[in-house]
């Protein structure tokens, strides 16, 4: 698509904020009204449009895509979105470790355990830890509490959590990304601890490094989207 506008601005309505291209309101890719809950988020989305060249690069509009997902997917069926997110808690990467006698285990304890214990203290829950890959379910009380935590978030935050959880394979890491001042790269490194361990042992290649960088950029954009939406 060729760039057809000169100025990207924002405007407030009774229901939220919207992006305007030469005064015309941007719609979702499915044609719905596109409104977001905060001026900082709308301003950041307008900046994405303003930064386009003569031809629009769809991959350079991650905030737009997350806003559309919140409107078109999350809002019509929040219970389904929450149920989907809870599956990342059921098989959270941070809960599945190597055996205590394996070299990776101390790294997992030092990096993952603080994230788990912080989440447990924050919500008064308990995560089951497993050595190996055999699934061990968390208690119904823990899952019910996490469901209430997710239900307390708005549609934009749930959209961001969907991306964060999928990339990290961890709801704990996704929720940690919502805390102000949290470093996205540090959380990403925690999520990819096993992958990086394998790379240390066997090496990596430019294609894998490029893929990792792209996924970190998507993770960081989702975190930024959530924090701007709540500003």
**Strand 16-21 with 24-25, pairing:** antiparallel
Query: Would you state the pLDDT for residue 203?
Result: 77
Query: Would you state the pLDDT for residue 205?
Result: 79
Query: Would you state the pLDDT for residue 6?
Result: 93
Q: How far apart are the first and last CA of the chain?
A: 32
Q: Report, in angstroms and rounded to the nearest whole number, the Rg of the chain calculated over CA atoms.
A: 19
Strand partners, 11: 18
Query: Would you state the pLDDT for residue 230?
Result: 87
Identify which of 130, 218, 223, 122 has the alpha carbon closest to the alpha carbon of residue 174.
Answer: 223
> For 30, left (φ over 0), alpha (ψ -120 to 50), or beta?
alpha
Burial profile 142-162: b = 16 or more Cβ within 10 angstroms, e = fewer: beebbbebbeebebbbbbbbb
Spatial distance between the Cα atoms of 191 and 30, rounded to a whole number of angstroms:
33
Q: Residue 97: helix, strand or coil by DSSP? A: strand
Where do runs of H (alpha helix) occur along the chain? Answer: 39-50, 62-69, 78-90, 104-123, 140-151, 155-168, 171-176, 184-191, 193-202, 206-229
Do 182 and 96 touch, CB atoms closer than 8 A?
no
CA distances from 43 to 49, 60, 75, 108 (A): 10, 15, 22, 39
One pLDDT digit (tens) per residue for the chain, 231 residues: 888 899 999 999 999 999 999 999 999 999 999 999 999 999 999 999 999 999 999 999 999 999 999 999 999 999 999 999 999 999 999 999 999 999 999 999 999 999 999 999 999 999 999 998 788 999 999 999 999 999 999 999 999 999 999 999 999 999 999 998 999 999 999 999 998 888 877 777 788 888 999 999 999 999 999 999 987
Spatial distance between the Cα atoms of 80 and 93, rounded to a whole number of angstroms:
22
Do 17 and 37 touch, CB atoms closer than 8 A?
yes
């Amino acid at each position: 698509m060729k760039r057809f506008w000169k100025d990207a601005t924002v405007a407030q309505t009774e229901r939220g904020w919207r992006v305007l291209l030469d005064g015309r309101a941007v719609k979702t890719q499915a044609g719905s009204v596109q409104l977001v809950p905060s001026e900082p988020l709308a301003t950041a989305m307008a900046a994405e449009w303003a930064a386009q060249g003569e031809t629009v690069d769809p991959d350079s509009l991650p905030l737009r895509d997350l806003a559309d997902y919140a409107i078109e997917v999350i809002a019509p069926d929040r219970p389904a979105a929450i149920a989907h997110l809870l599956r990342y808690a059921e098989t959270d990467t941070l809960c599945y470790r190597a055996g205590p006698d394996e070299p990776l285990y101390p790294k997992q304890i030092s990096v993952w355990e603080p994230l788990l214990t912080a989440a447990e203290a924050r919500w008064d829950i308990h995560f089951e830890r497993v050595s190996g890959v055999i699934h061990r379910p968390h208690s119904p009380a823990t899952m019910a509490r996490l469901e209430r935590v997710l239900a307390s978030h708005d549609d934009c935050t749930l959209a961001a959590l969907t991306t964060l959880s999928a990339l990290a394979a961890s709801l704990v890491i996704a929720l940690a990304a919502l805390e102000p001042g949290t470093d996205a790269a540090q959380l990403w490194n925690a999520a990819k601890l096993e992958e990086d361990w394998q790379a240390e042992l066997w090496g990596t290649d430019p294609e894998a490094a490029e893929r990792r960088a792209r996924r970190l950029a998507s993770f960081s954009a989702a975190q930024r989207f959530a924090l701007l939406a709540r500003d």
